[in-house]
Each structure stands twice: as C-alpha cells, then as structure tokens.
C-alpha cells in the first residue's frame, strides 16, 4: 500500500489493554505512517479526529466553559491540547480555519498562580515556545484559561480568557499504532 492510502475500520481490540481513547470510539481512520516492512504500520485516530505526527486532535463544534471543556476531553480519553512545537501550532491554527467557522478554542494551558502558567499534563511551560497575541497574557489572575484565537491569522494567536466563557476546544490524544 502506498503511504497516501487510508482506511476507515472498526477497531478490534487486541489482547493489549485498550487505551481510554480506544474504549470510547468504534470507528477509526488509519493511515500508513511508518516505513514498509515494520510490523505495526498504521497510525489510527477516531473517525472525525485529525492526525498530526503521533497525535490525534478533536476540534469541537459545540461550546463549553473552561472546566467543562477539560472534563469533556478527559471523558473521551484525551486532554485539552498541549502545544509543544511551532509545527504543531501551525497545524492547529490551519485546522481551526476549516469550516464550520469558529473563533476561539480552549487549549490545555492554565494560569495556576499570577503569571505562573502550566500545561494540563504538567509539561513544563516554555515562554520561548509560547504563541501569545500581542499584549497577552493579560495581567492579573482573572483570565486563567487559554484559547487559540483563530481569526488572528498569524501564529501568535493565544489569548487568556475568563474560565466561564463558553468556547470551542481542542482535545489531543496519542494516535493508536496498529
């Protein structure tokens, strides 16, 4: 099979312990992602999710507040997205512009104390790999959740917001290799 082929398959659990993500979804989209000749040659994401490198991303069409968004991702066996590279930021910014039109997506970066930012999975916050809009984050601790503001049309599109705002979200989980 060529590396551009993909398949939609029902997921059959092997004897391995299925991940929380695998337990939530029955239809998966898989594509060839590793060199031919290896035993496990397909990377799979739940149907409707988008794959980039080794992760699957869910861009919601409904809106929730910050805490509900985090719980919704967890309930699907994933978490609010943790952005660790410029390439990932570019991919997600582009995905966010795809229809339907949505402006803001919660990501997994939170202000745990004044000017103390932390990723949901405890990945160290690296200020040099942050993509804040000009003038962001706002001073103080009222706006302690982070969104990707897609209409910004440049890579620096993060904005801190109040946690009660009902917005979209991006969930991330590791792709399943079969």
CATH of 6-177, one of 3.40.50.880, 3.30.559.10, 3.10.100.10, 3.40.50.11030: 3.10.100.10
Distance CA 4, CA 99 (A): 23
pTM for the complete prediction?
0.87
pLDDT at 55: 96
pLDDT at 84: 93
Distance CA 52, CA 69 (A): 21
Q: Residue ranges of the chain with pLDDT lower than 50?
A: 1-4, 11-15
Q: What does 123-146 look like in DSSP terms, one character per residue?
A: PPP-GGG--BPTT-SPSSSS--EE
Pairing mode, if any, of strands 79-80 and 50-52?
Answer: unpaired
pLDDT at 23: 80
Domain boundaries, the chain: 6-177
DSSP category for residue 101: P
Contact 143, 115 (CB under 8 A): no
Contact 172, 95 (CB under 8 A): no
The residue whose two tokens read 């991702």 is 73
Distance CA 96, CA 32 (A): 24
Using one digit for the tens of pLDDT, what is the confidence trace for 20-49?
Answer: 787 888 899 988 766 655 566 788 999 999
Spatial CB neighbours of 142, under 8 Å, sequence gap ≥ 6: 162
């Amino acid at each position: 099979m060529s590396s551009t082929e993909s398949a939609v398959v029902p997921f059959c659990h092997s004897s391995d312990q299925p991940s929380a993500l695998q337990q939530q979804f029955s239809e998966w989209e898989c594509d060839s992602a590793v060199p031919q000749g290896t035993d496990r040659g397909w990377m799979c994401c739940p149907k409707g999710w988008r794959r980039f490198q080794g992760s699957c991303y869910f861009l919601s069409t409904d809106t929730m507040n910050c805490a509900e968004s985090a719980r919704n991702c967890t309930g699907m066996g994933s978490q609010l997205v943790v952005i660790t590279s410029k390439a990932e930021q570019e991919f997600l910014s582009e995905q966010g512009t795809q229809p339907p039109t949505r402006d803001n997506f919660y990501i997994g970066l939170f202000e745990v104390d004044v000017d103390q930012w932390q990723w949901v999975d405890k990945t160290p916050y690296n200020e040099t790999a942050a993509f804040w809009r000009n003038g962001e984050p706002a001073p103080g601790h009222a706006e302690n959740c982070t969104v990707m503001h897609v209409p910004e049309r440049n890579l620096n599109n993060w904005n801190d917001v109040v946690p009660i705002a009902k917005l979209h979200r991006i969930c991330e989980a590791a792709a399943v290799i079969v």
